[in-house]
Chain A
Amino acid sequence: MEFLQNNLLTILILLPVAGAVLTLAHQMFWKQEGQLKWLTLGFTTLTFVVSLLLFGSNTAGASGYSFEQNVPWIRAINTNYHVGVDGLSFWLVILTTFIMPIAVLSTWHAVEKKQTAFYVFLLLLESAMLGVFVSLDLLVFYLFFEASLIPMFFLIGVWGGENRIYAAVKFFIFTALGSLLMLVAIISLFYIYADQTGLGGTFDLVAILDAMRSGNLSITPQAGTLLFLAFALAFSIKVPLFPFHTWLPDAHTEAPTAGSVILAAVLLKMGTYGLMRFNFSLFPEQSREFAWLFITLAIIGIIYGALVAMVQPDVKRLVAYSSVAHMGFVILGMFSFTEMGMQGAVYQMLNHGISTGALFLLVGFIYERRHTRQITDFGGLANVMPIYATIFVITTMSSIGLPFLNGFVGEFMIMLGMFQSQALAVTSAVNWNYIAAMLAGTGVIFAAVYLLWMVQRVFFGKVTNEKNRALADLSWREIGIMVPLLVLMVYMGVYPKPFLKRMDEPVRALQQRVMHPAGGTIAEADHR
């Protein structure tokens, strides 16, 4: 048990890898692909169960991270395998391990070709994603960040829809392009550190931040701006922030259900997480300086995503564009630099993962039955599939942000945070923070428009297409997948306290670091 506790994060990262190896071995020796899904399900579930041990995370070390491990990896370039979890990454790790078994179950019957490879990629993807959220070494983080690309590239490109190759390549080019610049920035940091401290370079985030706080390391504004932008570009593409969003609808639409779910629930969060973890803490001045830009783009994204979602003929593409709008809210909350807004942003990351993940699952269910996602092919489904319709409507309401469902809490906190934000200049004539919150608020109206319009056309009315008349309602497996998500939607909407409590401290520290970088950074950011 102690071994487990001491190496928990490493074990979490390695468990899916072990599953992948076993999957390959199984395929080599028994050649029975039918059992692979059970194997994968077993490993992802096991990972989830083990990850629950994180809840006992009162073991925070001196640096503020729990379950910290720091061992030298490549001495030549002074890079360490340094992992740890804090309130910022905690829920994202849990979200990842939680969503994986669901993703596996969602494609229970849908994957027919190359099953071995499919499950191996799924498991490797989980490892990479977990690695991203727990890495405290910039180089290790970068490796995991890039590593997550490859499995997803193949998941889309091999098991995707008709236009899969275009979508996969687009996905890859967009995201790889951004992260290359980030790599440049990471290496620059290494040399700047070496140059200024005389201690030799490091990739260790904690070490760099310590040096910054103690004054040993101070990046010139010019360099800081460039580095900030390099990091920010990588993460913005991942989020995706308008106008870097066009890879997302294609990737989502073409990806198999499991891929879409993981993409929406976890992969996009790597962008917003990265911005908070690295941009805010490493470049607080620049974060504040560029807040107006991100807030503007976020608001454009919210409204733009909603308007474009409204006119989509394809359900899945509609949900993908709604993702653009929802992630805009997350960015907005983060860059409000208020406790309220930033906590709301982290909360909304989880909410989006659950609600949009659930929507993609639901779209997947109907696609498996009808092999079409065109809204016009449906109509009146509520008469044929009442359980499906009910679950769909509840999920929609969660995504619309109806109070007492999860989406509302996040959006409310974000908008209130923005409303009170001091990140934007206040001139005598105009309170830009008010305007920003008011504009973002219109996104909530539009969300109701496009989602309800879709629901209305797909579910209500008479059954217009004869092919839909004999559709089977959800199976027990499908209901079983949805129930935990529905429970979470309600729970997180009604009692957010346990969630918010865990992220409270690191978010406040971050907020202080950005808004009061000169005075009190050390004392107030002392959660670490």
Chain B
Amino acid sequence: MTENNLLSLIIFAPLAGAVVNWLIGGRLKNEMFSGLVACGTIAISTVVAFMIAFGIGTGHEGALVAEKPVLDHIWTWIQVGGFRADFGLGMDRLSGIYACFITFVGLLIHIFATGYMHGDKGFYRFFAYLNLFMFSMLTLVLADNFLLMFVGWEGVGLCSYLLIGYYLKKDEARKAAKKAFVMNRIGDWGVLIGVFLIFTITGSISFYDKAVDGAQVQSVFTWIQANIASPEPFGWAAVFAGGMTSAALLLFIGATGKSAQIPLFTWLPDAMAGPTPVSALIHAATMVTAGVYMVVRCNSIYQNAPTAMFVVAVIGCATAIFAATIGLAQNDIKKVLAYSTVSQLGYMFLACGVGAFIAAIFHVMTHAFFKALLFLGSGSVIHGMHHEQDMRRMGNLRKYMPVTFITMGLGWLAICGIPIWAGFFSKDEILYRTFAAAGLPEGWNYVLWGVGLLTAVLTAVYMTRLMVMTFFGEERFGEGDADHGAGHGDDAHGAAHADGDGDGDDDDEHHALPHGFKPHESPWVMTMPLVILAILSTVGGLVGVPYALSSLVGKGDINVFEHTLEPVIAKVGAGAHAEKAPSAGHDEPKADQHGSVPATAAAEKGAGHAAESEPAAHHSPEEIATERLLAGLSVLLALSGIGIGVAIFGRDPLKKLPKILEDKWRIDELYNGSIVDPITEISRERLWKGFDLGFIDGMVNGIGAFVMQFGNAIRGLQVGFVRSYAALILVGALAVLGYFIYFGFKLLS
């Protein structure tokens, strides 16, 4: 066990930044000060995170290569009986990757935001919240137990609430904020109950085996490896059995809330009412991927719960295509990206569901790069367009904003899945693993793969539409409000105000762009992060090139990403499932070298099957051929998607699309009509006015009779010897009561 107290600096530096900005920044009202504090503290986190992750100057192996996690026990939070929740941090390979990209992308977005939020009255408040968010997010991923993870989990929800509602005066901002918080809370319920169940089953909530205060703490996953011999059977029974499947599904409820999956996804697009850097940081790159983190962290639970895996895969896949169809028809640039995020998150869960946990994390990382880039790019566009978000009033912006155009163009290639851009490798990996998945019911892997592929086409189409409408074609920003407001006006109109009302009471005035308006390129603090993210979106995928593709260009196995994460993925060894366990494909012959102790123990248990199937599963010629074929197919489809996009929207950027898509399949209306309104109505009319005021209080009005009857009943029931005394006392006490009421009334009147 490696201890490193620097670990706590990663989370506490942003917290300190938040406090300083709140207490001092609020008085100084100096943008330079607030910006420096915010970015400076994140820079500290970033440096420390990279130091520990790569073992630079820390005197121990980097967390990304070490076998054991780097731990830091800070204090014991709750300890009752056999339950203990520490405020303790741990960085292993999984949380190391997360910590690195969160701090790095976070830093870039902070820098971008100093330019974007320039001139806003609440500048210090914004950065205080943003730093607080970083504290929560890093607590979430670095926590060494479920409960502390839940602290971060709720904390990011709170910060998201504060930041979505940042524009206090905007009506839909505060509604979106509340909606986000409540939907997240519904998910949190699942996490909480899931944690209860896990603790009840395993007697632990810790992620790592560790020694604290002289006591040995066994991790949840070690317990599972040691005690669960084979995955639970597939079917409904397992869901309610109170075992691994139940726990996995409960946790997944939380993931659907935080990561905006069906059915709890509707908050994320609304959350775009917040400032754009917030959308980039929280609602694209980091917070929304927390659900994926949790599922991958708990992969040993999921692998023992094939039913839950199936549910995760289906929900992920359904969300992916569903959100893509909506994204197709949105006119607000940020809404398109929001639905795109929901859709991409669906891919990640699809990956988890088919057992490709590493591919999921890979996609989390590449998505963080290109989606942060796209969001910041859209922020730059919005900034340059003086807070216009409606793409119908943009066009030909490449002329005015070349840097933004080029960088966003690279992000567009990445998300469409064009080789060698980052999105290609991660998305392709997911699709291939889905195709090859064996743990699903017969035939489902092809269904899921097909839907995933179709989503990829749609992704290319709507992203191309976005690029065309924004950067190509005619300049439409001089035009009036002619087509504005019919039916879809609400969102676009409201969102268009996004940044206008920081400075006074003028927020009601519609800022129709003046005639002869010319957009402008953004300052360097905003374009610099764009450039860096564009580079990462371009080359960032190269850390995870699969063997099937790297061997094409004569390289060996250079999939660094996969090898880094392999030890994190538990090997569910014994039982028939092992043969077709989707995770088996990840197992290297040398896996037992860097596999942790429990994993090895389990591997031994199932040695018979595992030893045979694992080496064979990797790099077999047929598989490599299939993988190459599928990769080629998805590239073709991506290109055709782009072609379709150009063909349709190049000619008519304002082409009307089906109303139902523009209305987001009317899911919000469905939820309001079938859940929210009835509950409110019943609460008001039946419970409050009916039961409380009508029934109970009605009864109280007849309280005299009630007392007498009750007294009689009691008297009759008594055992015997106290009867007369009790009756006497009751009468006496009633007299005293009457006396008080009588004199009370006198005093009152």
Contacts and interface: CB of A to CB of B under 8 A. Distances in A.
A504 B83 CA distance: 13
Nearest to A342: B80
A409 to B, nearest CB: 6
A431 B697 contact: no
A308 B688 contact: yes
Interface string B194-218: 0011011000000000000000000
Given A382-B168, A460-B165, A187 B729 contact: yes
A68 B682 CA distance: 52
Interface stretch (A104-112, A176-184, A261-269, A360-368): A176-184
Contact of B80 (A340, A383, A434): A340
A58 interface: no
B109 interface: no
Interface stretch (B150-158, B422-430, B617-625): B150-158
A431 B78 contact: no
Interface in B686-707: 687-688, 692-693, 696-697, 700, 703, 707
B730 interface: yes
A330 to B, nearest CB: 16
A61 interface: no
A419 B193 contact: yes
Contact of B744 (A153, A192, A404): A153
B182 interface: yes
B60 interface: no
Nearest to B87: A494
B748 A419 contact: no
B25 to A, nearest CB: 14
Contact of B155 (A183, A404, A415, A420): A404
Interface in A492-528: 494-497, 500, 504
A441 B505 CA distance: 41
A412 B192 contact: yes
B674 interface: no
Contacts of B729: 183-184, 187
Interface stretch (A79-87, A290-298, A369-377, A443-451): A443-451
Contacts of A461: 168-171, 174
Interface string B697-727: 1001001000100100010011101100110
Interface in A324-364: 338-340, 343
B741 A456 contact: no
Contacts of B733: 176, 180, 183
B75 interface: yes
Interface residues of A, number: 80
Contact of B175 (A397, A415, A456, A495): A456
B714 A168 contact: no
A311 B680 contact: yes
B726 A452 contact: no
Contacts of B714: 181, 184, 226, 230
B444 interface: no
A462 interface: yes
B154 A402 contact: yes
Contact of A246 (B168, B185, B200, B697): B697
A310 B680 contact: yes
Contacts of A164: 748
Given A308-B692, A403-B151, A461-B169, A437 B193 contact: yes
A415 to B, nearest CB: 7
A57 to B, nearest CB: 21
Contacts of A459: 168
A504 B81 CA distance: 9
A496 B85 CA distance: 11
A118 interface: no
A172 interface: yes
A46 interface: no
Given A170-B700, A172-B744, A187 B726 contact: yes
A416 B199 contact: yes
A192 B721 CA distance: 9
Contacts of B744: 153-154, 157, 168-169, 172
Contacts of B171: 461
Contacts of A157: 744, 747-748
A310 B168 CA distance: 22
A158 interface: yes
Given A170-B700, A413-B78, A445-B182, A419 B196 contact: yes
Given A187-B722, A310-B680, A448-B182, A497 B76 contact: yes
A427 interface: no
B722 to A, nearest CB: 5
A412 B195 CA distance: 10
Interface centre among B725, B726, B734 (most CB of A within 10 A): B726
Interface string A245-273: 01001000000000000000000000000
B748 A191 contact: no
B465 interface: no
A180 B687 CA distance: 29
Contacts of B58: none
Given A452-B178, A461-B168, A188 B189 contact: no
B747 A158 contact: yes
Contacts of A307: 679, 682-683, 687
B687 A191 contact: no
Contacts of B703: 173, 177
B526 to A, nearest CB: 28
Contact of B200 (A169, A187, A420): A420
Contacts of A180: 730, 733-734, 737
A370 to B, nearest CB: 20
B589 interface: no
Contacts of A448: 181-182, 185
Interface in A98-121: none
B33 interface: no
Interface string A157-201: 110000011001110111011001101100110011001000000
Contacts of B740: 150, 153, 172, 176
Given A246-B693, A304-B687, A461-B171, 18 more contacts: A172-B737, A174-B700, A176-B740, A183-B729, A184-B729, A249-B692, A307-B683, A310-B680, A311-B688, A397-B158, A413-B80, A441-B193, A445-B182, A456-B175, A460-B168, A462-B507, A497-B76, A500-B80
30 contacts: A153-B744, A165-B748, A172-B737, A176-B740, A177-B703, A180-B734, A183-B729, A187-B725, A188-B722, A191-B722, A220-B719, A249-B692, A304-B687, A307-B679, A312-B688, A380-B169, A420-B200, A434-B197, A437-B196, A444-B185, A445-B185, A452-B181, A452-B182, A456-B175, A460-B169, A461-B169, A461-B170, A462-B505, A497-B78, A500-B79
**6 shortest A-B CB distances, which residue pairs?**
A403-B151, A307-B683, A311-B684, A460-B174, A419-B196, A246-B696
